[in-house]
Amino acid sequence: MARKLYAIALATYCIALNPTTRQGQRQRRPQSPSNHKRVVAIGDVHGDLDALRTCLRVAGVVDTSDAWIGAPGTTLVSTGDVLDRGDEDWECLAYLHTLQAAARRKRGDVCLVLGNHEVLNVLGEMRFASTKSWHAAAEACEPPRRNVERDDDWARRARIRAFAPGGAGAAYLADLCGDAPVGRVCGDTLYCHG
């Protein structure tokens, strides 16, 4: 039963994110850009910003100052679970969002395929997110408050709002996922969260 509800919730969220679906138009099949000369895939970052940056440096898509240096036609695919467990998951998501803009300026791309932890956050389930990551989302998305460091409940609620439709976290996910939130085709390969 829980698995069925999860699948229904995921499908509902994907439809809500897609602007063409929201306007009542037919959803089209995602097309694979033909410019994928190199694909770098990474999964299950789980809020470990240092590990993410290290992996991207080793892969040669960012430099030591974390700026995009991927060659034209380079695509970075995150196969989900950027969120939860680690303390810097909000920072990881924001970093990937920033990299996406930089990559596109250089004819590359950064995209995300939703994992179960992104979906859990969208559903308001924060049990796998650390208190520190609640506060990071709250500080990024909400007006300043006194004694925020002592107000964990407010921070948790702010993070829930951030991932609700219209929130900053939901916008990051929508931008990174584009029109293919559960699978990304690059060349002959389908990338998805396993």
- By annotation, the residues acting in catalysis are 117
Q: How far apart are CA 153 and CA 148, in angstroms?
A: 10
| 57 contact partners, CB below 8 Å, separation of at least 6 | 63, 64
Identity at 77, one-letter amino acid code: V
Strand order in the sheet with 109-112: 38-42, 74-78, 109-112
Phi and psi, residue 40, nearest 5°: -115, 125
Looking at the chain, the number of H-run helices and the number of E-run strands are 8, 5
Nearest one of 112, 113, 116, 159 to 135, comparing CA atoms: 159
CB of 131 closer than 8 Å to CB of 152:
yes
CA 137 to chain centre: 13
Q: How far apart are CA 43 and CA 106, in angstroms?
A: 23
